[in-house]
Structure 1
Amino acid sequence: MELSVNESERLATLYKFGVLDTEFEERYERLTRVAAAVFGTPIALISLVDKDRQWFKSALGLTVRQTPRDISFCTHAIRNTEVFVVRNALQDERFRDNPLVTGDPHVRFYAGAPLVARNGHPLGTFCVIDRSPRAEFTSAQERLLKDFAGAVVDFFEMQLSIRDRRARAVSQHEGIQDAVRELLQIAAESPAAALRDRIQSIVGRLKALD
């Protein structure tokens, strides 16, 4: 199924996850190692499609962390929910003159499953690449590649949820500290009746932070 992509919203979703330009992480390295072994390819990538580049969260078999977006196979792959397969790039008019085909890494076979966030926006792909063409890529292999992509998105969503919870906890802690400081100031400056009313007001605010 073709994805209806609002590019500004897609990029906002991508940036929200805070993954771009981060270091390699073993959880993602493990996924690309396993994928390369399962599919028998020398290259396996977790590629995120930015405004003008594709950036690799994991890049097994490559020595670069990014390439220009306008030559990326993944730009084509994020337009659809299905796995995007190129069996022989030299025989595909879209890619036969592509510098990634005519030069290093000499892409011939490509299969990429889109990384689709919960809001429906594609972030990039989980892809496997071979330097030799392949006659077929079975439906079972496509489903498996989608599972790898789904695992990546699950990790992204989990990390975002953890960051959000930590941010809320910090905000609540700061709110409690502010309330305690206000209580101390009121106790020093207010007569008893006014102090009681002010304390009740602050206690209500503290309960709202729970």
Structure 2
Amino acid sequence: MRPTVAPREQARLEALKGYRVLDTAPEQSYDDITLLATQLCSVPIALISLVDAERQWFKSRVGVDVSETSRDVSFCAHAIQGEEPLVVRDAREDERFRDNPLVTRAPHIVFYAGVPLCTPDGFRIGTLCVIDHQPRDLSDAQLRSLEALARQVVLQLELKRVSDQLAGALQRIDVMEALIPICSYCKGIRNDEGYWGTVEAFIKSHDNVEFSHGVCEACMAKHFPEVPPLP
């Protein structure tokens, strides 16, 4: 059975792409998580699967050689449709999966358990999943451990996203710390094209910020002497 697409699919895909993780190199922090997942659940296969528009791509994998598969045959594409983990004890007896080529051919998936990777904004961008070639059940403790590891995957993604944002902000600060032509009288700033403008316009051209305006106490006293000072 082909997985359905959520109503907020475009926003979900934008959230996934915002992490800038697709097609990146393997990283130890993620590989440690999949290794722990196989040991905790006593299974041969574990994946960190990110569900893109037409494919599922594996940020980390243990027990399989391929780095991605079509979304049409993806178990994980089904798993992200709900908030709770998707557990399939025997895919050969499940009408959703029994004719799936991942079941009838290599890697011959029989057991599957996938925990959605849920972003702080509520988008399920993929799963941490474990797979076996025979039917099995997970204990409550194993399932809770898998959920805890899935939260660690999202935490790693969030840390990378924040780190990238900080690096970009520091780069923009470096630009602003360079020699900037400022008018000695009005404090206007000359841009690269030689035009003079306000400080606000210059900063907004180098960063995505908005300004709110007020008047300090000294300027209030100088320009609006008739207005009594605030208590």
* Separation in 1, partners of 2:184, 2:160: 43
Report if aligned partners of 1:5, 1:79 keep a CA contact under 8 Å in 2.
no
* Separation in 2, partners of 1:93, 1:35: 27
Q: Detail structure 1 runs of 4+ shifted over 3 Å in the superposition.
A: none
* Separation in 2, partners of 1:91, 1:166: 50
**Equivalent residue runs for 1:104-143 within 5 Å:** 104-134=106-136, 136-143=137-144
**Equivalent residue runs for 1:2-151 within 5 Å:** 5-134=7-136, 136-151=137-152
Flag the structure with larger Rg: 2
Report if aligned partners of 1:5, 1:121 keep a CA contact under 8 Å in 2.
no
Question: How big is the shift at 1:182?
Answer: 1.4
TM-score normalised according to structure 2 size: 0.77
**Equivalent residue runs for 1:130-209 within 5 Å:** 130-134=132-136, 136-177=137-178, 180-183=179-182, 196-198=184-186, 200-201=187-188, 205=199
* Structure with more helix by fraction: 1
Report if aligned partners of 2:48, 2:129 keep a CA contact under 8 Å in 1.
yes
* Separation in 1, partners of 2:98, 2:171: 53
* Separation in 2, partners of 1:171, 1:205: 15
Report if aligned partners of 2:41, 2:138 keep a CA contact under 8 Å in 1.
no
Task: State the superposition RMSD in angstroms.
Answer: 2.0
Residue by residue, what CA displacement relative to the aligned partner does 1:4-34 show, whole Å, maximum 9, x if unpaired? 6500000000000000000111111111111
* Separation in 2, partners of 1:143, 1:82: 11
> Identity of aligned pairs, percent?
42
| 2:224 aligned residue | none
Equivalences, count: 190
Moved more, 117-126 or 138-147: 138-147
Which stretches in structure 1 are left out of the alignment for 5+ residues? 184-194
Which stretches in structure 2 are left out of the alignment for 5+ residues? 1-5, 190-197, 208-231
TM-score normalised according to structure 1 size: 0.85
